[in-house]
Structure 1
């Protein structure tokens, strides 16, 4: 890892549909930065429209990392994200670029900055709160990837949808005794946390408008192409949120109106869980989504 103790990182967090990506691009352009996407699904190739991936134009103007690096048929874990993210940060700093981490998967961000949360065998409050943000099917998929034997044991007992049992199994599987590969913490980095928030009703409207736009932009066709290319319906369901409902829609289990309704509902629920997660972090400087003028002043002061 980087040896010096004076490097700085900016982290931009918030719920889905809050405007994190556009702020990250703006800051990266102004302060010679590059962006690390902290989104548990944008790591997968082909999951573009439904996850709100940055456009090719945005990626051309500002380098983005940890996007399109994994096959959606595979499971990409928080531990892998932490390891890959640290390599990216090391490379950025060696090139004198400002690392900007932007995303809504709070557990992945915390794992990147403090990997020790991934290695506890005893019941661990922070680890559990992170896992509780994820639905049972995604948790079980991660367990299958990390420890197939424990996953098989749960499946045999019919407990593959039992969130608490899965989380406990993950705690054990990720313990230092069980996990041979350990990830070192980032050395003495100074971190500026910036959060974007919206009034609940405004956020719901933003989520709804985004769902409509993505539906018009080809979200359904994208999911159909993923399945045609070999992504199973089960795996699509495991990817959660939009993809779970897109899988149902493509199998004629729900109508187009229900598709939009269910995506809106689940995205709003997920946003609530994201707010709860980020509320724990007292270091976050919060800004209203339509009042971001003070962000650059804060960043300038931080980078002095």
Structure 2
């Protein structure tokens, strides 16, 4: 997406390709990253309400890793479009592999709109309040600046908080602060994969390794798993507190690593196998949040 900018019209075009005239609201597929914003844009473009529910409650790399899919709700056919105007409507039991192949052919970035669901089914199967949760985290990590307009009421300055304080206020914990000493990446089967090595600054002669596949999935301290998917491994710039996406990670960066708990549905025994480390090819078991 960094190299192939969207026009903003892709979701509208994808919905037209599905030929679904009776759409009454827009919901999200995943709240994580920029994918949490496009449903809001589509709702505004169509003049429809946006309902605060999504199928992940975070970000996962595969389109079949949703609570909608786990509940057996139909998510195909789905339409894929890209900024140049190319589009495809897909309907297949192997939709993940097929959609990723099309996305690669489209240049590595595309917009997807899935078959509409009944709102009651989506609310029952989905994860509610994800947008509200994202806004809450934004207030904690990126509080709005004081209003400096003439005549504006004076607001008390934001109290200085450490990353550990902010992590605790977010319901998680601060894993480590470190300097990136190596970043390794490859792309296989349409998935960007990689490893990040950090030298910890809070502990002498200690290292942290992050495994990523589009998202940060596992954090290991000196080779031992510390935080694992579906719990969230979050990387933030140590100076600004802004999130660093996997594609933005670079050598020499100073970052804070923070862990947040997964949305409750994902740690249910019936669901965990879809999104635990082994679901991504890592020979690791899920480490329950905060158990280490």
Question: Is TM-score (shorter-chain normalized) higher than 0.5?
Answer: no
Structure with bigger gyration radius: 2
Higher helix share: 1
TM-score relative to the length of structure 2: 0.26
Q: Which one scores higher on RCO, CA 8 angstroms, separation ≥ 6? A: 1
Higher strand share: 2
